[in-house]
Amino acid sequence: MDQRMTIFLGAIAAAVLLVIIAALYWSGHMFYPTGVHHKHAILAIVLAAGALVIANFNRPSAAVARR
């Protein structure tokens, strides 16, 4: 597997994980039962969006045409 595909799959996995973490923060079940942490959930969503941007630039179809 080439490096571009590895980065693509890793970024997709990170985005999925961060969305799950954001959902857990918003539901109030993450780490400490002290209530809902909106700032942490928003940060996780922003990081997930960043991971999807990275995945977009490293998707296999974005590679330069090979001969």
- Model pLDDT, residue 65: 55
DSSP the chain: --HHHHHHHHHHHHHHHHHHHHHHHHHT-SSS-S---HHHHHHHHHHHHHHHHHHHHT-GGGSPPP-
Q: Is residue 7 part of a domain?
A: yes
- Model pLDDT, residue 40: 84
- Model pLDDT, residue 39: 85
Q: Is residue 67 part of a domain?
A: no
Domain that holds residue 19: 3-62
Q: Is residue 25 part of a domain?
A: yes
- One digit per residue, the tens of pLDDT, for the chain of length 67 reads 688 899 999 999 999 999 999 888 888 766 666 667 788 889 999 999 999 999 999 888 755 555 5
- Count of domains observed in the chain: 1
